[in-house]
Amino acid sequence: MAGNYARSHQPFSETPPLSTLPHAIPQSQFTPGPAPTTSVQEDGKIYGLVIDLLDPNTRESALLELSKKREQYDDLALVLWHSFGIMPALLQEIVSVYPLLSPPNLTAHASNRVCNALALLQCVASHSETRQLFLSAHIPLFLYPFLNTTSKTRPFEYLRLTSLGVIGALVKQNDNSSVIHFLLSTEIIPLCLRIMETGSELSKTVAIFIVQKILLDETGLTYICHTYERFYAVGTVLSNMVNQLVETQAVRLLKHVVRCYLRLSDNLRAREALRACLPEPLRDQTFSTLLKGDMSTYIPWYATEKPLLIDGIPDHYLALAAPVVAYWSLSLFFHFLDTRDWKVLDKYRLHPSSEVASRNLVSRSTVVYAVFFQHIIQTVLGLYWLTAEAPTRVPNSVAVHRIASTLHTPAELLGLNDPVLLLSVSEFIYWWAIPALQLLLSMFIIDTWQYFLHRAMHVNKFLYRHLHSWHHRLYVPYAFGSLYNHPVEGFFLDTLGTAVAEWCTGLTTRQAMVLFTISTLKTVDDHCGYNFPWDPLQLMSGNNADYHDIHHQIIGIKSNFAQPFFVHWDTLLGTRMTRQDIELRRKGLKNKTN
């Protein structure tokens, strides 16, 4: 068996997050807890689905539904095992994909289906009354061809991971001596070692968990340390993982590696060998900050580990829908105020309501149609710009500890040797400082883009006459007219500028959603026609509804180009105009006349 330990394979290119797997290994797999009860009606549904497994025509849908309900029904394992023909049906699903393993032709659909069957086997493997029966039938051996695959594609990765989950369900129990004895009689150790060396981070974690459980059993420890070849195989893989962890800083995986070394040191012969071959990063301070600080557990209120913010709706769809919803929600609120004759609003209105109809050169219906068209263009282009694939990035905890590692040397020079303080500072930088900087930089890029392009459209007569003059048909701005532009201007000024800001700052899809929504709300608010002293969007900077209203008047049409956030470019380049400037200019004209 030892000869199989040294198989070498190329590493996987990516690690799919657990929450995105079609059959993610549930947290309860490694943390037992009380199972919920079900109603009689629910029992009937479960029994009906189990019966459907016997019919090849209904089996696929039954597998999917039962895999979803396996944690909600505590006796599902018993029903599956003791129902006539069910276990053979599940094994038939497994065996049916063997021809697709070599050469590797497994499709996502086939992988999903067999993973559903594996999820039900995991349920049987984890139940105390069916676990031994499961072993006696040698069912785990049916999974080994899946663990022996090397393809890097996602269908194969999901297949290996779900298969590992079944073995993990077997070894997680405390009374698992019979399980360990069974596994030691098979090829599970070399299979797990290969995955620990070449698999995705998640697969490595489950594989090393299985090896750790084998080591914790006295028989397993003795078996691995009995010959040099076995010990060398395990030690070599653990050493390679340590060297990889220097770069990845995956703390959960590191803890499993450390626990394996600790357990190996309980054997006298292994302990002597480890004195010479223990990896250097475990001897020095390479992982000191990572391990002393423990895994970062701080998660701010705004963060979530959910793969989708709203179940069933991809985040990039939300990022495109959010600004549209925000636009019309806030616009309709201000339109409601516009249609009220409440006297209390008069002191906040920048123009009497009657001026909207008398001074504007375009009807409200035309504005609505134009804005709808702008949103359609914006959404269609956004579908090409944003993708459903999450960008490759390191886990949050790894990113935090990388920041801590970067700050470690400067902190030591300053005499700051408290690892807890260092971790807290790193968490603040990662969760607050960096996102805030990204958001502010995005706002700066949007302001810069829109200022110079907006100003160019006023300076260049052709651009103004054929493009920007559309927007200035609204002499008296109102909320839902804020995106009333020529379609070409709308694309270059609003859509493209925001996309450039999102790309330059490396925003995630969810950060982009926030940026798009805030930018939209600010644009609507700047055209709302009200100067509310308590409006947070008007309080955030001097670039507010009153400021932009000046630009829409004849006297200020060559001023106040800045939008939508701040006024720094107007201030720096001398194009800022305030109400006081208007009064001074009018007084000057009056004096000249007199």
pLDDT digits (tens, 9 = 90+) for 384-396: 887 755 554 555 7
Chain-centroid distance of CA 100 in Å reads 31
Segment 175-231, tens digit of pLDDT: 678 899 999 999 999 999 999 998 888 899 999 999 999 998 889 999 999 998 999
Residue 395: its pLDDT value, please? 58
Q: Is the pLDDT of residue 19 over 50?
A: no
Dihedrals φ, ψ of 349, to 5°? -75, 135
Start-end of H helices in 199-227: 201-216, 218-225
In angstroms, rounded to a whole number, what is the distance separating the alpha carbons of residues 420 and 289? 9
pLDDT recorded at residue 292:
55
Contact 318, 309 (CB under 8 A): yes
The answer to which of 157-161, 452-456, 522-526, 582-586 has the lowest mean pLDDT is 582-586
CA distance 14 to 28: 25
DSSP letter for each residue of 368-404: HHHHHHHHHHHHHHHHHHS-SSPPP---HHHHHHHHH
Question: Using CA atoms, how far apart are residues 276 and 526, in angstroms rounded to an integer?
Answer: 70
Question: Tokens standing for 309?
Answer: 């913010």
Cross-strand partners of 310: 313
Q: What's the rounded mean pLDDT across residues 496-505?
A: 93
In the prediction, which pLDDT does 18 show?
34
Distance CA 75, CA 78 (A): 5
Confidence of residue 251 (pLDDT cuts 50, 70, 90): confident
Q: State the chain's mean pLDDT as an integer.
A: 84
Distance of CA 567 to the CA centre of its chain: 34
Residue 231 token pair? 């010990």
Domains contained in the chain, CATH given: 41-173 (1.25.10.10), 177-295 (1.25.10.10), 315-390+439-586 (no CATH)
